[in-house]
């Protein structure tokens, strides 16, 4: 095994995480706000009330500011696959490229085409065509997310592909298996729904600010009604898709589930930790809870729909559990090493024209390919394959806790708005404003669970991060890390500043609708 530059690996991971976390500040607001805008414009077209047009145009301006900066970070994110993760990019072959190509050709093309009509087509096209453009922008932005999330889901659960030993690349054999894998379906639905929740909270929070300032009361109450209704439905569905995601994780990424719950020893009737504080010890050592509030059988039910189901812990996954058919990481490492060595022997035999030997090694390679990635840890401590437990645990519980709060928040806001009492509830209005940063915190926590929880895998069981990085000097990555940090921070500050100016300015002055325009 060649020398591993762990500094390069760590900095490459840090740079990609930085870009992804900044990018995800902008994306969920785009996903959700696009549909809220389309719903508001539908009310305008149906009622002909110019106040709905005014409301729509205001939120459209907020959407435009966010959309423009989100695109910039997204482009950089895709380029990093080639610059920092070239080994990964080669290994995945057309599996990762195909969904991203479809995203660019179909979804982003539709989104970018109709966004011009949405912003500049007022009074230039018919009401119905403009409304159609707004809906197509919303659909296009969510389809963009679909293809990106399908690619990410394949990394978490690689299906529908075959590894070609002659090219050392994965080749897609079943597009529909990739598109409709249980991980892909749950990941897409859970992720976009979380964007709907964030956007709804964003609209409610800004509208609450206007009410507190005694400005644009009608505008604010109508915006809250739409956002609270949309948000309540989305938050309930978010819980449903979260349950599906947890079951997929339990089936395909059991170590991630164990890290999410800080579960070191598996058991039947495994408890779900509602609230917990872990001891401050090293990741490779067994941790215990300083404080915890367990729900007996909760984790078993969450993972398998059975209160008495067996859930393996970190100890069983690392050291094995023959009673439950779990082989140890040490065994998986040995199996993976056989596969890696067989691939090298196959390539050598092919070059020398030794057909019989090549076929023999190819058979060994295929028989052991399932744990190919584990072979890169031959000679290493198997505990290195445990993801960061504390970060996964706290991120998961922050996400779930805030998700539960959001359901109650939407229900409360909607109740007082329907009763026409929201303007009198100063505490709730202030709470709505301060819930905006909590929504962003929940978003970032969710991605930390998804990506940190599966470490060290870039592709589950097949390629770890130590094998995926480009062979470049770590100093190059360090320099660009801080350059990106400066640029992304500047972009974020710019967005916040522009948004604050737009918020202070408020909706455009009320205009008399041109009744001749159909």
Ranges assigned E (strand) in 215-373: 267-268, 272-278, 289-295, 310-311
State how far the Cα of 361 lies from the Cα of 366, in Å rounded to an integer. 9
Percent of the chain with pLDDT over 70: 95
**Is the model's pLDDT at 71 over the cut of 80?**
no
Residue 323 neighbours by CB under 8 Å, 6+ apart: none
How high is the pLDDT of residue 221? Answer: 93
Three-class secondary structure of residue 274 per DSSP: strand
How high is the pLDDT of residue 516? Answer: 37
State how far the Cα of 338 lies from the Cα of 170, in Å rounded to an integer. 19
Pairing of strands 457-459, 289-295: unpaired
Looking at every residue in the chain, the average pLDDT score rounds to: 88
Residue 281 pLDDT level (bands cut at 50, 70, 90): low
**Is the model's pLDDT at 37 over the cut of 90?**
yes
Rg (CA), the chain: 25
How high is the pLDDT of residue 292? Answer: 80
How high is the pLDDT of residue 5? Answer: 78
Q: How far is CA 209 from the centre of its chain?
A: 29
**Is the model's pLDDT at 338 over the cut of 60?**
yes
Segment 101-118 mean pLDDT: 74
Place of tokens 């990093």: 80
Structure tokens at 96: 């990762």
**Is the model's pLDDT at 517 over the cut of 60?**
no
Segment 76-102 mean pLDDT: 78
How high is the pLDDT of residue 231? Answer: 96
How high is the pLDDT of residue 344? Answer: 92
CA angle centred on 383, ends 382 and 386, rounded to 5°: 115
Q: 3-state SS of 51-114? A: HHHHHHHHHHHHHHHHHHHHHHHHHHHHHHHHHCCHHHHHHCCHHHHHHHHHHHHHHHHHHHHH
Segment 72-95 mean pLDDT: 79
Segment 193-200 mean pLDDT: 96
Give CA separation, 42 vs 244, 335, 460, in Å.
32, 58, 44
How high is the pLDDT of residue 108? Answer: 66
How high is the pLDDT of residue 118? Answer: 87
Residue 283 pLDDT level (bands cut at 50, 70, 90): low
pTM of the model: 0.90
Burial, 515: exposed, middle or buried (Cβ in 10 Å; 0-12, 13-18, 19+)?
A: exposed
CB 160 within 8 A of CB 174: yes
How high is the pLDDT of residue 49? Answer: 92
State how far the Cα of 330 lies from the Cα of 339, in Å rounded to an integer. 14
State how far the Cα of 284 lies from the Cα of 381, in Å rounded to an integer. 10
Residue 299 neighbours by CB under 8 Å, 6+ apart: 257, 261, 263, 270, 271, 272, 273, 311
Three-class secondary structure of residue 292 per DSSP: strand
Segment 52-74 mean pLDDT: 85
pLDDT digits (tens, 9 = 90+) for 434-488: 999 999 999 999 999 999 999 999 999 999 999 988 888 888 889 989 998 998 8
Report the range of poorest mean pLDDT among 66-80, 251-265, 442-456: 66-80
pLDDT digits (tens, 9 = 90+) for 401-429: 999 999 999 999 999 999 999 988 899 99
Residue 142 pLDDT level (bands cut at 50, 70, 90): confident
How high is the pLDDT of residue 116? Answer: 84
Smallest CA-to-CA distance from 440 within 139, 194, 171, 75 is with 194
Instruction: Compute how many other C-beta atoms are within 10 angstroms of the C-beta atom of residue 47.
Output: 11
State how far the Cα of 478 lies from the Cα of 488, in Å rounded to an integer. 15
CB 339 within 8 A of CB 375: yes
Q: Where are the domains of the chain?
A: 6-253+387-505, 262-322, 329-383
Place of tokens 């890290």: 259
Segment 149-162 mean pLDDT: 90
Ranges assigned E (strand) in 240-327: 267-268, 272-278, 289-295, 310-311
């Amino acid at each position: 095994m060649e020398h591993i530059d762990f500094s390069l690996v760590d900095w490459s991971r840090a740079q990609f995480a930085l870009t992804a976390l900044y990018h995800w500040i902008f994306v969920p607001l785009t996903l959700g706000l696009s549909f809220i805008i389309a719903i508001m414009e539908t009310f305008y077209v149906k009622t002909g009330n110019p106040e709905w047009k005014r409301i729509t145009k205001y939120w459209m301006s907020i959407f435009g500011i966010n959309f423009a900066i989100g695109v910039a970070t997204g482009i950089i994110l895709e380029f990093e696959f080639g610059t920092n993760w070239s080994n990964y990019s080669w290994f995945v072959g057309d599996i990762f490229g195909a969904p991203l190509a479809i995203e660019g050709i179909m979804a982003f093309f539709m989104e970018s085409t109709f966004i011009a009509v949405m912003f500049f087509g007022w009074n230039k096209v018919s009401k119905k065509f403009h409304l159609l453009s707004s809906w197509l922008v919303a659909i296009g932005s969510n389809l963009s997310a679909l293809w990106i999330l399908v690619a990410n889901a394949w990394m978490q659960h690689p299906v529908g592909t075959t590894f070609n030993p002659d090219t050392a690349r994965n080749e897609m054999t079943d597009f529909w298996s990739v598109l409709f894998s249980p991980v892909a379906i749950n990941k897409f639905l859970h992720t976009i729904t979380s964007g709907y929740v964030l956007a709804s909270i964003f609209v409610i929070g800004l509208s609450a600010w206007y009410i507190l300032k005694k400005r644009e009361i009608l505008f604010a109450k109508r915006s809250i009604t739409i956002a609270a209704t949309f948000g309540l439905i989305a938050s309930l569905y978010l819980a449903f898709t979260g349950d599906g995601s947890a079951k997929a994780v339990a089936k395909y990424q059991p170590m991630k589930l164990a890290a999410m719950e800080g579960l070191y020893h598996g058991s039947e009737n495994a408890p779900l930790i509602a609230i917990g504080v872990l001891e401050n010890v090293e990741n490779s050592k067994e941790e215990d809870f300083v404080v915890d509030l367990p729900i007996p059988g909760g984790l078993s039910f969450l993972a398998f729909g059975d209160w008495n189901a067996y859930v393996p812990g970190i100890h069983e996954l690392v050291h094995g559990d023959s009673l439950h058919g779990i082989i140890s990481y040490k065994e998986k490492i040995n199996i993976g090493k056989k596969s890696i060595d067989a691939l090298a022997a196959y390539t050598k035999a092919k070059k020398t024209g030794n057909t019989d030997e090549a076929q023999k090694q190819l058979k060994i390679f295929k028989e052991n390919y399932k744990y190919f990635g584990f072979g890169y840890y031959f000679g290493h401590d198997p505990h290195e394959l445990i993801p960061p437990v504390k970060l996964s645990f706290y991120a998961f519980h922050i996400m779930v806790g805030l998700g539960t709060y959001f359901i109650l928040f939407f229900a409360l806001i909607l109740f007082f708005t329907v009763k026409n009492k929201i303007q009198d509830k100063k505490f709730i209005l202030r709470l709505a404003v301060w819930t905006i940063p909590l929504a962003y915190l929940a978003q970032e926590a969710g991605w930390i669970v998804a990506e940190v929880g599966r470490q060290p895998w870039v592709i589950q069981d097949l390629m770890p991060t130590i094998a995926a990085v480009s062979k470049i000097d770590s100093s190059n990555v360090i320099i660009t890390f801080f350059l990106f940090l400066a640029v992304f921070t500047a972009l974020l500050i710019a967005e916040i500043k522009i948004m604050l100016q737009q918020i202070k300015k408020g909706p455009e002055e009320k205009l008399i609708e041109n009744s001749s325009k159909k």
